[in-house]
Amino acid sequence: MSGGISLVIELTILVLAIFLGFEVISKVPAMLHTPLMSGTNFIHGIVIVGAIIVLGGAGDTFLKVVGFVAMVLATANVVGGWFVTDRMLEMFKRRPEPRKESAEK
Amino acid sequence: MISDPDVIGLLYLVPIVCFVLALRFLSSPKHARKGNWVGGVGMLVAIATTLALEGIGNWALIAIGALVGSVVGVIGARKVKMTAMPQMVALFNGVGGGAAALVALSEFHVSSGEMATDAIVSTVLSALIGSISFAVSLVAFAKLQELVSGRPITFPGQNVFNIGVLGGAVALATTAVAGVDEQWLLWALIALALVFGVLFVLPIGGADMPVVISLLNAFTGLAASATGFVLDSTVLIVAGMLVGASGTMLTLLMAKAMNRSVTNVLFGAFGQVQAGAGTGMRADDGRTVRATTPEDVAVQLSFARKVVVVPGYGMAVAQAQHDVRQLAELLEQKGVDVKYAIHPVAGRMPGHMNVLLAEANVPYEALKEMDEINPEFPQTDVALVIGANDVTNPAARHDTTSPIYGMPILDVDKAASVIVMKRTMNPGFAGIDNELYLEPQTTMLFGDAKDSVVKLIAAVKST
């Protein structure tokens, strides 16, 4: 709903996003591939925008039901994806104590 | 209430920048967590902007939906064990794809009869891809959770049948694009796509799950992007495509790490090939498998200079990662150099082993990727294989008849001595006998990985 941009411009944006995606993701080390998956998992939760638009504008019962289910799924996607990623990345950040001790010995 | 399209466009630019930065921060474990927060802020801006759009109502329904979704999401994210991460990722992929398909369905319902061709194309694509990833995710989840057998499920004429189902879906899609405006078309399309998704993933074995999950990631990204075209939303197009690029890249990486093409993984029903053959382990020249005891292994480990731990799915299943770290620390106190060799497809998803070992507080510097650790195996005194199988099979290097021939492996057999921890002599998920077990320097420590490691810890302490 960004104000009727033309299909050609949208396609241009799409192609640029593909290149950008490959560029950025090629720098992610193999060690972080699982957080990358759950992080991108969180990002595709952006369909929540679509869910809100559908449910927010729903007139008949059919749309309300479909929109509501979409809303629940998309929110679970966003919230769950974010928390799982955060939990995982926190583990990577942690510096274990025993290692330091043995290094000092 | 925001109505100025420029303001809306600018506000939606914020999440785009945030998502790119979030991925950029993932290039190092130090900043990665910060990146996730940046991504979170971006998502909040996107949600707030959408809520402030003109014509948004049904607030109670939105609030309840958000609440239910949040509760499910938070509980799921907090409760899930790190070993169950592949299932969790599969499930989140599925809900994302499902949401995209539902959005498409609604848009088709709302603007029936007055949709431009490009809008119909993207609606149909979004419904198709979203439904397929929803179905694939649920079956992948059931397989990983072992609700259904992880082994490939096949029937005669499967590929032909599957292609038929997909063909039917594509035909319906084409009909809709051609201008036949009937609501049932999209319903039938979604139904066929769901059936295809289930059929598609049934013949894929557990060991190939890293490829499937990566592919799912790409699919949901594409579905989100297609939804972006339906709604004319740049943020959906860009965010979806970033995810699509990530998933595609991981899929190719995983397939490469198995030296197989993506098509072969998806349609090869791998693991059926030798399923019957992999039973008794006795070589033609009379070599047999030798079993050992925790006490013997403890002595070997304690007096080694260099030990390389090779973790696999077995470690994840047994939840042995914390005990493995404890064992490694004990050995380090005895002056042993301990490293971990991580094969790209060890486990059930990309980076699975890294996450488990990080959970157990293993410093990530000790985790070595395949190319880095392979030259070190000849100087290694003991290679400790914990629940890894196919990724250590030397047959991949020389046996042209082996289904895994050509797959890059960890050169575990080059270590002075190899100890394999394994539950039974059953072959791995690929259903192939591992000739590593017959090598003269190899001994087997049978039992559950966790029990064995706990016994090893006790034995090392008393050495």
- Which tokens belong to B237? 């197009």
The per-residue pLDDT for B256 is: 87
B61/A20 CB distance under 8 A: no
- Higher-pLDDT residue of B401, B459: B459
Determine if residue B16 is left, alpha or beta; phi over 0 gives left, psi from -120 to 50 gives alpha, anything else beta: alpha
pLDDT of A63-105, one tens digit each? 999 999 999 999 999 999 999 999 999 888 755 544 444 443 3
pLDDT of B119-154, one tens digit each? 889 999 999 999 999 999 999 999 888 888 777 777
- Cβ neighbours of B53 in A, within 8 Å: 1, 53, 56
| CA dist list (Å): A20 to A26, A35, A45, B207, B245 | 10, 19, 19, 31, 9
In the set B390, B411, B413, B433, the catalytic residue is B390
- Which tokens belong to B316? 């994840």
Residue B232 is a catalytic residue: no
Cα–Cα distance, A38 to A82 (Å, whole number)? 8
What contacts B442, CB < 8 A, 6 or more positions away?
A: B289, B290, B413, B417, B418, B419, B420, B436
The per-residue pLDDT for B151 is: 76
- Cβ neighbours of B28 in A, within 8 Å: 29
The packing angle between helices B209-231 and A48-56, to 10°, is: 40
B32/A69 CB distance under 8 A: no
Of B5, B249, B352, the CB nearest to A25: B249
A52/B56 CB distance under 8 A: yes
B36/A4 CB distance under 8 A: no
What contacts B284, CB < 8 A, 6 or more positions away?
A: none
pLDDT average, residue stretch B405-415: 91
Q: B317 pLDDT band (50/70/90 cuts)?
A: confident
pLDDT of A38-65, one tens digit each? 999 999 999 999 999 999 998 899 999 9
Question: Residue B20: pLDDT above 90?
Answer: yes
The per-residue pLDDT for B304 is: 93
**A50, A80 Cβ separation under 8 angstroms:** no
- Cβ neighbours of B89 in A, within 8 Å: 34, 37-38, 41, 84
Cα–Cα distance, A67 to B232 (Å, whole number)? 18
Q: What is the pTM of this model?
A: 0.88
Q: Nearest 5 degrees, angle CA B158-CA B159-CA B163?
A: 120
Q: B246 pLDDT band (50/70/90 cuts)?
A: very high
pLDDT average, residue stretch B191-195: 93
Cβ–Cβ pairs < 8 A, chains A and B: 388
**Among B41, B223, B11, which residue's Cα sits nearest to residue A41?**
B223
Name the residue of chain B whose CA is nearest to A51's CA: B103
| CA dist list (Å): B132 to B103, B177, B277 | 15, 19, 34
A84/B69 CB distance under 8 A: no
- Which tokens belong to B389? 């199988």
Q: Which residues pair with B309 in a beta bridge?
A: B340, B384
ipTM: 0.89
